[in-house]
């Protein structure tokens, strides 16, 4: 658990200011006070969908190296038909990436988790069940989703220190959960809107059009919608790797790009049952 002390973020400051302003406005017109409070609620809800603002809490969405570096990240796996092929593509380019995995998929394919680590890549926590509505749930549900996924990975010898929320949406209750577990929240700032490899046509074009220094690039190691789409997926992945190099960008581990540790090693026999009570 982290010993990090409570920190003040824009949402806290804005909240205090709104309460003061609403209190003063009440004497002018009660409706004005209600309007100010409602505006604050709307602002907080909007901030959930734009975590890069850091309005609700600390979110890392890009690097700060000011160098021609980017980091590749793959979400939602591992998958038996996709992950190993992507690992092979990365090996050929001598590229190290980060795989944000779900707990349920890690349990299905523990050998793939071991293979990702063996090949020198980093592993992040992408929640246990990858529920797209997770950020609409209460703090206890968030605690269990983050903790259970972390325990699954710890049982496999991996201590995932970075959490990426499903679909990139955050919740004010997420940050105390991560702070207590000594974890960081990492999202992305370059994506193709591929809907988890369901829209792979011109995937490379959409990524390469946006890619720039210090980007955290979001890709997926999930299977495409149809089996016959696999050849196109591999081609698009090859184009992305080649295109990033042609743009003069160097693909580095996420930890190098953001200057923070993403995952570490724990004994395979370790298993903390704290979240399974």
Catalytic residues: 75, 220
User: Which tokens sit at 124?
Assistant: 């992040």
User: Which tokens sit at 199?
Assistant: 């829209």
**Cα 62–5–47 angle (5° rounding)?**
40
CB of 234 within 8 A of CB of 84? no
| Residues in the chain, overall count | 277
d(CA 220, CA 211): 16
* Distance separating the N- and C-terminal Cα atoms of the chain: 17
């Amino acid at each position: 658990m982290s010993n990090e002390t409570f920190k003040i973020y824009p949402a806290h400051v804005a909240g205090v200011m709104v309460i003061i302003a609403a209190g003063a406005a009440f004497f002018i017109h009660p409706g004005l006070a209600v309007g100010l409070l409602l505006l604050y609620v709307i602002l907080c809800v909007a901030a959930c969908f734009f975590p890069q603002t850091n309005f609700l809490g600390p979110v890392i969405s890009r690097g700060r190296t000011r160098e021609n570096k980017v980091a590749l990240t793959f979400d939602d796996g591992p998958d038996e038909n996709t992950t190993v092929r992507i690992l092979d593509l990365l090996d050929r380019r001598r590229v190290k990436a980060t795989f944000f995995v779900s707990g349920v998929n890690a349990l299905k394919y523990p050998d793939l988790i071991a293979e990702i680590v063996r090949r020198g890549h980093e592993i992040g926590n992408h929640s246990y069940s990858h529920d797209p509505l997770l950020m609409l749930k209460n703090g206890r549900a968030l605690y269990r989703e983050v903790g259970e996924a972390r325990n699954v990975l710890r049982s496999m010898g991996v201590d995932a220190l970075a959490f990426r929320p499903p679909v990139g949406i955050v919740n004010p209750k997420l940050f105390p959960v991560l702070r207590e577990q000594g974890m960081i929240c990492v999202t992305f700032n370059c994506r193709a809107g591929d809907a988890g490899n369901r829209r792979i046509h011109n995937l490379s074009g959409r990524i390469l059009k946006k890619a720039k220094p210090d980007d955290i690039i979001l890709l997926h190691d999930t299977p495409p919608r149809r089996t016959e789409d696999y050849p196109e997926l591999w081609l698009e992945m090859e184009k992305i790797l080649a295109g990033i190099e042609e743009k003069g960008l160097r693909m580095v581990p996420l930890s190098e790009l953001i200057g923070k540790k993403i995952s570490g090693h724990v004994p395979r026999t370790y298993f903390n049952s704290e979240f399974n009570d």
